[in-house]
Structure 1
């Protein structure tokens, strides 16, 4: 019996000595005042200490505000700085400390926290201090306003995408198919017919004559190309007199002067005059339509008249071939890794041709077709509505294709597989040089001015400038462009 009691006593003594007693640095703890509790272990072996960190909640209203580990020569100290936010008795739980495979636990510790006693006799009671403002960090601002910032960023992205889509659609020349415009003659006659049916003069003569003269002014602006809506009656008569017979001129003068009297002097013409002026206006429009159509036809006949040429300029193009060749043909193509359309000989030649020499293409095309036996006379030729091709062969580039159409103009397509960069450049330089020589020697300055004013080939010019712009932008962005206006013939 004594041995049992002895074993029990030894076990209890061993158990008590193997536990760690926490020590507290102050006897009295107060609400909202930090206090420190320390755990000590010997420094003669490696310990695994409990994992505690700042802001851990031990129990309600009791929080860790700091954790500090001190390693001394003979011991290791774990210092926990605590703070209580209310009075009462708090129990610090038991924590596990490991030394190798041995586990040692700390004693629980009861702590009494009391309220701070206020001596109102010696110290007055002050008002509660205002909330202290602290400076916010970047993360604080970001977390506070992040949804606003995200909304602004999304709106900015949508605005940029909308602008890019709008710019792309607007800059694409064939993106929108426009409605055909009503000819000025048809528009004017339709408006005069409606005006006659409405009989506005019965209610307000001033409104009627204002509408009548507006129809005529708008027609003169579109048909005769002068600012009729902003011109006085005398200025209109002076501008249009060369286009009219004497009787037509007098009728228009009477109408305009009568309208001025109605609008500004409150004149009241007889009802028969209203119908007379409407009929005179219809006859005037019809007469001008017939005269201007005849003049246009005469100009076209003159433009397409036979051309007298002093020498052969396009013999270098070679001989006409009957069979369509097989292979890959293009206006320009990439020959090696260093080859780019931007600032190449090809770009410079075609820039010059489409922006300068293309205005004279009826002469150029007419002479080429005559020299190659495709036309019986040297007569100016307009581009066809649909694409036409003819094949030639010369010593510089071998077989090549000339393609003509109203949409794309005049393009020379060379074989991409057999034509070298040097051959391509030599041929294009010879082409543009001979074309310029032909224009300088065979087309007089007055004719040159006349051809430029007619805007021949504007649609083809727009096509080339669009293709050129897209290629140059792509190459600046580092995109590979392998060929332009390519065509595979089989």
Structure 2
């Protein structure tokens, strides 16, 4: 008896669940004209959570030959505690015919259901063939008269535009052939000689030129920095003098001890550059320190200054500058004329052709 009741309960539950699933296939209208659209809905009413699989159709495909699917969408609504899900197909046709629409199949929780077979009648527009005189053929292309007076002003403006363009090109060539005149005010920053020298020595330190394989380059740069500093500081041409000549001139105004150290530095540099003498790293560092000390002992108390330099023009350059200014003014006027003439031409053409 328990088995019988269990089987009856299962059958009753299955029948109830099956009764809750309803499939309906309807169409908005069974009759349309060629090119009109109609909606066909495949609706499934089932409990919430039911897995529903609708038939898939791509846009542009045909439901049946002659009936095209142009759009699909899904809609849903609550009906008496159940969920009603609808797949809506937008259909159209361009051939007069009575089309049978097949019953679409849908799966609910793995079980297949089927809608209803429908029909769609496509009609054409009635044409009165008894009275053909009521229909007129398309009009032919009209031959509008050509009036020269309408095109006179655009033609004259076009000629004027051509003349102005030629004059502009001529002025540009004239402007390009003249030598440019630099009349910009320059701001020159003057840095004290000792600051320039110390900055250059710092670059030598960063460049690590005290290694044995770079001794010639190291002493060449170091002595050049000192020569430039001495020339700017003491006012004689140290860049063109020998080491002994530089020392001789420095003895006139300087500490004897500092000059002796500088003399030793120049002698070492001459040996390295011309006699292939090899120094020790400590000796290189000592010479570098002596150079820095010499600069610190002899530097002047100066601050960086800025000088405003305004170039002076000769009479010929002033005349050339005036000519260039005149040409530039004429070019500006030509550019404005070109723009105005082009706008006028476009406006007249718009009036004639519009």
TM-score by length of 1: 0.27
